Structure 1
Amino acid sequence: MVVITLTSCPAKLRGDLTRWLFEIDTGVYVGNLSARVRDGIWQRICDNIGSGRAVMTYAAANEQKLDFRICGSEWIPTDHDGIKLVKRMFPSESDSKYKAGSKNVIRHKTHLEQRKRKGDDTPDYTVIDIETTGIKTDERIIELGALRIRSGKETGSFSALVKCGKPVPKEIMKLTGITDELLESEGIEPDRAIQLFTEFCGNDTLVGHNISFDIGFLQRLCNETGRTFLRNRTIDTIRIAKRKTDIADGYSLASICGHFGIEIKTQHRAIEDCKLTYRIFEKLKEIEGE
């Protein structure tokens, strides 16, 4: 049994779900789906959710007998000693729930006000991207990429292949060019990889394309290696693009690049996708008048 709840989502998406599921109440869908169809529907939801929120719950062979996914929310799934819990990330300034109260919030707002007084209207940030063995929650990271941006310019990069402890599926090998042999010869252990990655990102704002997907995998890897998860502010280029553009072919990385006339030489490798996402984000900032 699969249960999906949608909040503030496009009507088109809600209508689309009725092809596979029963809508038993406004925004609440239930049905029996195969794992392949379930994962495909979830990806479709994440790609078309706009500014809304979605939660999917389904039966799983674990201690809790269930699993869940969340998209478009400050709440994200987290694994705690094999138990799936939900963690609330630190809110961004644009969040309607961003209110004075805790010392962290006050300190964060003060920091932003100081930056504005200095005339820093182009904040520094780091673009991130990962490659994985698949989109399911039990898949593994096989590559990490990060691109440091200062005053709109590339100033540094990080890239690492990650040993995943399982065979890379043939379709992923074909898509990325990352093979078991490549991971064995050039990959580094997960705990070392996430250490270097988090040190490179520091406290920067993190920009990504469908970044909730990346954050979910990164958080699980942090949990597995006993590392404190990045609490950085995040920005999703898909959500901005959906708000600021109208692209008939959808909002994949390739579609948005085509919309802006950005040439794609290589895709589906972490650092190359970071570079594409960086160029997209700078174009979107121009539209927003930042």
Structure 2
Amino acid sequence: MIVITLTKVPPALRGDLTKWCQEIQTGVYVGRLSGRIRDYLWERIIDGIGRGEATMVYSAKNELGYEFRTTRHDYRVTDYDGIPLITHLKTVSGAVQPGFSKAAKFRRARVMAARQQNKQTSMAEKAVVTLDLETTGLDATKDEIIEIGAIKRTATNELIEFERLIKVDCSIPRTITALTGITAKQLRDQGVALQVALDQLHEFVADCPIVGYNLRFDEMFLRQAVRKTSLTDFSNRMLDVKPVVQQVELFLDNYRLETVLKSRNIENQHPHRALSDAQATWQLATQLIKNGDFRI
């Protein structure tokens, strides 16, 4: 059994908790969760608490039968021979470090180790490309690529853009034009042949690792496109950011790119345009690397 109390926290955090616990009174949540989910939930509370306060009480195998964690600055949690005790402070000190369970400590240690490792092998030390495609539909065997966008970060930290519209023989569905803003006239006037675009993309990415969001979708279309044009397949190392986000962000309503970007305050100026999506994915990957969650 877990009981959580919240005061003066952002509404988004309260919404997150209702997915896991029942709000039996304003700011009071009750639920039954595994130890791993409980620790993740507490970390989510810490990340989203803003200037508010939170306290968590949960069942434990000790003499009291429970343990607790709190973010309140006027209290201090002390572990006395396995029994958690609360000390009321006369003067408010710095923020209380949440959690004293072994699981929480081990996870913090893993995160710190990962961050240290990523400092030694950072994104800035190697060239890498972030890629995105826009297509006429979701079926790689029937639909066509209409736009390719990519961002390359060189080993010297320079950012280079790649953007191509693709001429296609098929009509553009109205839903795709409404979503992307790409029209058949744009493709006729500004587009290049698929083979030309793929040749140029090959030259642009060279042997760099390719990063994308839901990259499996783009891989399928690229694979089908090179078969259609009899070109050499892309043998680059492919790194998908989406599975990483799904492990890190447990409380999102969905894992569409726009939802993830919004949760991390990343602006995408032109959603569903390949270059803009590639730029936003780049910023997302950079955040994950800095947090020790993703590695090139």
Pick the TM interval, shorter chain: 0.5 to 0.7
Q: Secondary structure at the match of 2:291?
A: helix
Residue matched to 1:209: 213
Residue matched to 2:225: 221
**How big is the shift at 1:149?**
1.3
RMSD: 1.8
Residue matched to 1:266: 270
Q: Secondary structure at the match of 1:288?
A: coil
Residue matched to 2:249: 245
- Note the alpha carbon deviations across 1:90-140, whole angstroms, 9 max, x for none: xxxxxxxxxxxxxxxxxxxxxxxxxx9xx5443431000000000013100
Task: Please say if residues 151 and 161 of structure 2, whose CA atoms lie closer than 8 Å, have aligned partners that are also in contact.
Answer: yes
Q: Secondary structure at the match of 1:165?
A: coil
Q: Secondary structure at the match of 1:126?
A: strand
| TM-score computed with the length of structure 2 as normaliser | 0.56
Q: Secondary structure at the match of 2:153?
A: strand
Partners of 1:266 and 1:153 in 2: CA distance: 24
Residue matched to 1:125: 128
Give the structure with higher Rg (CA): 2
AA matched with 2:135: T
Partners of 2:155 and 2:290 in 1: CA distance: 14
**How big is the shift at 1:261?**
0.9
AA matched with 2:152: R
| TM-score computed with the length of structure 1 as normaliser | 0.57
Partners of 1:154 and 1:256 in 2: CA distance: 26
Task: Please say if residues 268 and 277 of structure 2, whose CA atoms lie closer than 8 Å, have aligned partners that are also in contact.
Answer: no
Q: Which structure 1 segments of 5+ residues have no match?
A: 1-115
Residue matched to 1:91: none
Moved more, 257-266 or 180-189: 257-266
Q: How many matched pairs?
A: 173
**How big is the shift at 1:151?**
5.3
1:123-272 equivalences under 5 Å are 123-137=126-140, 138-150=142-154, 153-272=157-276
Partners of 2:286 and 2:230 in 1: CA distance: 35
1:18-33 equivalences under 5 Å are none
Partners of 2:249 and 2:154 in 1: CA distance: 25
1:29-178 equivalences under 5 Å are 120-122=121-123, 123-137=126-140, 138-150=142-154, 153-178=157-182
Partners of 2:282 and 2:122 in 1: CA distance: 17
Partners of 1:247 and 1:144 in 2: CA distance: 31
Q: Secondary structure at the match of 1:135?
A: coil
**How big is the shift at 1:152?**
9.0
Residue matched to 1:69: none
AA matched with 2:177: M
**How big is the shift at 1:263?**
1.8
Partners of 2:201 and 2:289 in 1: CA distance: 26
AA matched with 1:129: D
AA matched with 1:178: I
